[in-house]
Structure 1
């Protein structure tokens, strides 16, 4: 199917279930008149569900509880390795019913079948660490934690608005997926069948700036509060009695998690960093400085341009929706390296959305000077991704552009909320980039490596606190993340805390110019390419030839398109 002699990657299905008309279905491990549950590997026949102690509820799902000990105390139960987190949720559900979602903390995607009321509840954690997908029509509804498990149960047609949004953002935001008729349950929500009623049990808090500035706590007070919360969360995220890993870039966020893990954990801490060879800029100077400072077992992985290209099909096969992020393949490879040493790996994802990273600055400047830029907030936000928003009229075929040009974007409500402008941007980044890009990438690609990825800075407690902190303590002039820097200043070398953020730069421009151009042309310009019915291949040819590329970021756009094409191919389009 690929133009470069790739084999089709094989990625196993996860558990999935059917609700509605199920009497003719076979291969389930549990079934009644309206519900059938299927295991991840039918040949093994392992039951993915648990029955609550009352016998009234059947529960299936993926869950990791960060407040396990608190729930055990609430249940009056001693801890036991034999009591899985899913079984603990089943016990809590017997007592609290749907209010269980307000009691449990951590990451989860759960389906609960009420055997007496004949109701099916689907619920997802607050921030989006786990996913749930469901078909939105038909006499049989299919539900799964991964989109690939629903492949036989939709028509294979693309949702054109989701395609437009992917080209703007490099991920698909919101409840839409790239497939028509398949929806994603949003974080912090519950849906009940047969009522099809969606309830929100948690949402990002809104905090307006205090009218009386004298009532505002100081930066020092907030930094101390943040430090206590960070220590509490990281402690909860550490595996008991086992070594832990950390993805370490050398930036403030991952360095902070490394320092806290090293301070709090009694077992070895392993850190993992990447680079792209001697000819490419890297952050190894800083990641090695942190590793030495924190006395971790440090591992460095060189990723070649050949690996980036050849491992992309496998990577895309593990992702639910396509993600056009140059770090997807590195995330997969470093996860596989980490598996040799640890079963749990932490990361620093969440620092930018929660504490005012530098990517917010162009939007803030536009807010101040929009009389000169003539951009409304939505236009400015779409352009801030620096992907294909500006190219849509030329990139999409005319009939596709006509179909989507006037369709609303998801971001308008948050852009006009009562929050301070910085907090509005943070809320957008947490709700969409966090849930639909970062956390789903972490979850799927660590799952591919058979390890568990955890994101402490996206914990509900950190997110809620970050929204309470006044904007001027997060972005103080040109200094980003001021409150986080003060909270961890004593844990890290000064060079790490106060150096400007540069980010993990993946050299995709060099890749396309020197290594991938011929292969990319064969992939993207083929008349039978999956993207051919939707995109203008003549424009893509210009990008591949790097015509007029001064500020147009062709490399990033091409990687986004290659990722899309390969994702479509491995998903049978």
Structure 2
């Protein structure tokens, strides 16, 4: 994994000094080697984290053998040896000078042009500059594991792995304005969905998209579309499905272990990380390294389960006990790590476990993706319930009734309060109950900051009719996964120069899951049914007879205790007035309900306000 950046600037608004600046800002992503290419028309900069072929032959920017193309890329293409075999069939004279995937990927582009990307299996953000035509090509992987940001202004185009590389550039910064729509989306979802960023002028290249900058135009197109991979027929046979699942997962994990540096796995003791760890250990000759976090608050402490799984698999297990103070120390850094408002509090333990892992290894495997592909969230059950015709009739009176209940019932009442059946059918139920509805945003935000936005997903032109649960899972795959979970993992791990691979997001597994009978995902109230069946082939079922906690922290209780003064400062009347985004009375009412009326579920909404104010404060300096 690495940090990439660059520009096309024929009028020399951007130059060598800017390439150095890009690299400096992203140096944490690739601490092993730094270099750039510049020809007075375009520039490419690269920070390298050495994983495959540690020699200088694999350094980037890399020139093609014909010397026409220059490439930089972030990520890994796991099937590069298979691609080399295909290359040799068409170009028998091609002899790589390195053993890296970079050289193979570049020559694949030379041979097959833009269509080469369909051959790649991995996580990647690729930039290729054609010195002859003066065109720049960008490619992002199917699921959005690796990030790409871009901006076009005047006669210039620039891109980078992280938003800060662009936003801190003095030439670019003077053109940036805050995106009010993005603030609304963040408060509604907890993250800012692609292609938007917190700035109007900077965009995210969407997952499965590519783009070409030529003659001062940047034209994007979708080269992989999850909806197009949904087929009319589904896999219903459990034995057949389990065999196929086993084949793909074992292949994916094995491919993800290709490395010339020490590696390990993140092990929470949950279903997904345990499955990845079990297979990684199965195909490894020696005990692999595993890493987990232990929380002082026992409710959030899954470390004992991780230790139990690690002991059964005989891994070399490393456990890091996190105190509240150690976690809290990272809160002021969140804005500089994530660059834009980001509300996922599990970013804190992810940062801490990444720091621990980096002290032992350079590459890790994560279990991300299992919940979205195999219906691991309780929200999928709610999605089905809320789409029931009787529920639609009863939702308004039921909402009023539940509002007088405990925190959990109040969250559910929030779901029932949604104004539109269109939203109820297709919206992200898992977030709606925690964050702000559209109706609430009109009350929360100063009218100068309120903005209409579209985050619903349409499900037309799909080969078969999707159930409500399937719609919800697809929404999460298209938005929540790339714009929240994968952002969290990328920024947290790359903060410490740690590569994190996600074998459960192999595109073969994604396409398989999209066409798997939902009853093999959520069966008799058992979530991730088929994935669990596979796991129990490696680890005893009794290890997992417990409620799902997720990788979270007791943020709500911290905000009433250790973080009380911190939260109070960022939610103060003075701070609300200073930035002018939120209505003072509405914020005061939320604080009163949370702190004095014990409506504990509101902590997420107050945290969002804190995050926005923290970001605005940093931005104003």
TM-score by length of structure 2 reads 0.82
What does the per-residue CA deviation read over 1:404-425, in whole Å, with 9 as the maximum and x for residues that have no partner? Answer: 13x3x23232499543332222
CA distance in 2, matches of 1:87, 1:322: 37
Are residues 1:106 and 2:153 paired? Answer: no
What does the per-residue CA deviation read over 1:254-302, in whole Å, with 9 as the maximum and x for residues that have no partner? Answer: 1111111111122331222223215644223322221111111222222
Task: Tell me if structure 2 keeps the 8 A contact 1:53–1:94.
Answer: no
Are residues 1:168 and 2:188 paired? Answer: yes
- How has the CA–CA distance of structure 1 residues 221 and 253 changed in structure 2, closer, same or farther, with 3 Å as cutoff? same
CA distance in 1, matches of 2:611, 2:96: 43
* Corresponding residue to 2:381 among 350, 361, 370: 361
Map 1:446-465; keep pairs closer than 5 Å: 446-465=493-512
Are residues 1:563 and 2:611 paired? Answer: yes
User: Per-residue deviation at 1:33?
Assistant: 4.9
Are residues 1:19 and 2:8 paired? Answer: yes
Are residues 1:525 and 2:547 paired? Answer: no
- How has the CA–CA distance of structure 1 residues 47 and 553 changed in structure 2, closer, same or farther, with 3 Å as cutoff? same
Map 1:139-538; keep pairs closer than 5 Å: 139-151=155-167, 152=169, 153-154=172-173, 155-194=175-214, 195-204=217-226, 205-207=228-230, 210=233, 217-240=236-259, 243-278=262-297, 280-357=299-376, 358-368=378-388, 369-373=391-395, 375=418, 376-379=421-424, 381-385=427-431, 386-390=433-437, 391-401=440-450, 404-405=451-452, 407=453, 409-414=454-459, 418-497=465-544, 499-525=546-572, 527=574, 532-538=579-585
2:87 alignment counterpart:
75
* Corresponding residue to 2:132 among 109, 116, 122: 116
- How has the CA–CA distance of structure 1 residues 63 and 207 changed in structure 2, closer, same or farther, with 3 Å as cutoff? closer
User: Per-residue deviation at 1:474?
Assistant: 0.7
Task: Tell me if structure 2 keeps the 8 A contact 1:344–1:453.
Answer: yes
Task: Tell me if structure 1 keeps the 8 A contact 2:288–2:315.
Answer: yes
**Other structure's SS at 1:260 match:** helix
2:39 alignment counterpart:
32
In angstroms, what is the RMSD of aligned CA positions? Answer: 2.8
Task: Tell me if structure 1 keeps the 8 A contact 2:382–2:429.
Answer: no
More deviation in 251-260 or 66-75? Answer: 66-75
* Corresponding residue to 1:85 among 101, 108, 117: 101
Map 1:41-80; keep pairs closer than 5 Å: 48-76=60-88
CA distance in 1, matches of 2:291, 2:95: 32
Task: Tell me if structure 1 keeps the 8 A contact 2:193–2:483.
Answer: yes
What does the per-residue CA deviation read over 1:376-434, in whole Å, with 9 as the maximum and x for residues that have no partner? Answer: 24247345303322331222113322xx13x3x23232499543332222221111111
CA distance in 2, matches of 1:413, 1:143: 30
2:32 alignment counterpart:
none
- How has the CA–CA distance of structure 1 residues 235 and 383 changed in structure 2, closer, same or farther, with 3 Å as cutoff? closer
**Other structure's SS at 2:344 match:** coil
What are structure 2's unaligned runs of at least 5 residues?
Answer: 20-35, 49-57, 397-417
**Other structure's SS at 1:553 match:** helix
User: Per-residue deviation at 1:157?
Assistant: 2.0
- How has the CA–CA distance of structure 1 residues 312 and 412 changed in structure 2, closer, same or farther, with 3 Å as cutoff? same
CA distance in 2, matches of 1:21, 1:241: 39
CA distance in 2, matches of 1:99, 1:130: 19
- How has the CA–CA distance of structure 1 residues 450 and 273 changed in structure 2, closer, same or farther, with 3 Å as cutoff? same
- How has the CA–CA distance of structure 1 residues 505 and 57 changed in structure 2, closer, same or farther, with 3 Å as cutoff? closer
TM-score by length of structure 1 reads 0.88
CA distance in 1, matches of 2:351, 2:536: 31
- How has the CA–CA distance of structure 1 residues 261 and 570 changed in structure 2, closer, same or farther, with 3 Å as cutoff? farther
Task: Tell me if structure 2 keeps the 8 A contact 1:489–1:497.
Answer: no
* Corresponding residue to 1:126 among 142, 149, 153: 142
Q: Number of paired residues?
A: 549
**Other structure's SS at 1:233 match:** helix
- How has the CA–CA distance of structure 1 residues 247 and 414 changed in structure 2, closer, same or farther, with 3 Å as cutoff? farther
Task: Tell me if structure 2 keeps the 8 A contact 1:136–1:181.
Answer: yes
2:31 alignment counterpart:
none
CA distance in 2, matches of 1:241, 1:119: 33
More deviation in 300-309 or 353-362? Answer: 300-309
What are structure 1's unaligned runs of at least 5 residues?
Answer: 1-12
1:7 alignment counterpart:
none
